[in-house]
Amino acid sequence: MRSLVQRVKQAKVTVDGDTVGEIGPGLLIFLGIARSDTIKDVDWLVEKIVHLRIFDDSLGRLQHDVRDIGGQLLVVSQFTLYGEVRRGRRPDFVLAAPAAMAEPLYQRFISGCRRILPVESGTFGADMDVSLVNWGPVTLWVETP
C-alpha cells in the first residue's frame, strides 16, 4: 500500500458538486492499493499513520500525532499512486489492484482508522475534486514494508 499523507488545516472532497467528506485540522490521506496488498498491510498502515508525530509541540518540534490535536482524517482512494512512468509517456497501472480487490481493503483501512478517531472519506472509484489547505506544508510518502 502506498499513501500520500498531508497535514492539513482543512480538506474537502466533492463528487458531482456535492461534498462527500470534509475535515478541519488533521490528515488528508491519498491511499493506493497494490495487487499484492493484504489485510496485514492495511492494519500496519492504519497504525503507522494514526501514530505519526507530525504536529508541532509548543517548541515547534514534530511531537504530536493527529489524536493529540483532536484532528480528523480524510481518506481518498487513489489508484494512480501505482502509476508507473519510467517507460513511455502514459502511466502503466499494472501494479494497482483491480477495484474488486482494492475496495474491501480501502474500506478496512477506513474502518480501522475509525476505531481510533473521526474519519471522512471520498467515494471509491468516483471522479472526485479534492481541495485542501496544506499546513506547513507537511507531506509524507508512507508505504508498507
Active site residue 80: yes
Active site residue 10: no
From the candidates 30, 55, 72, 79, which is the catalytic residue? 79
Nearest CA among 111, 38, 39 for reference residue 75: 111
From the candidates 30, 78, 109, 124, which is the catalytic residue? 78
Place of cell 484532528: 71
Active site residue 78: yes
What are the grid coordinates assigned to 20, written together?
Answer: 462527500
From the candidates 38, 63, 80, 139, which is the catalytic residue? 80
The count of other CB atoms within 10 Å of the CB of residue 36 is 10
Nearest CA among 47, 14, 31, 41 for reference residue 80: 31
Active-site annotation, residues: 78-80
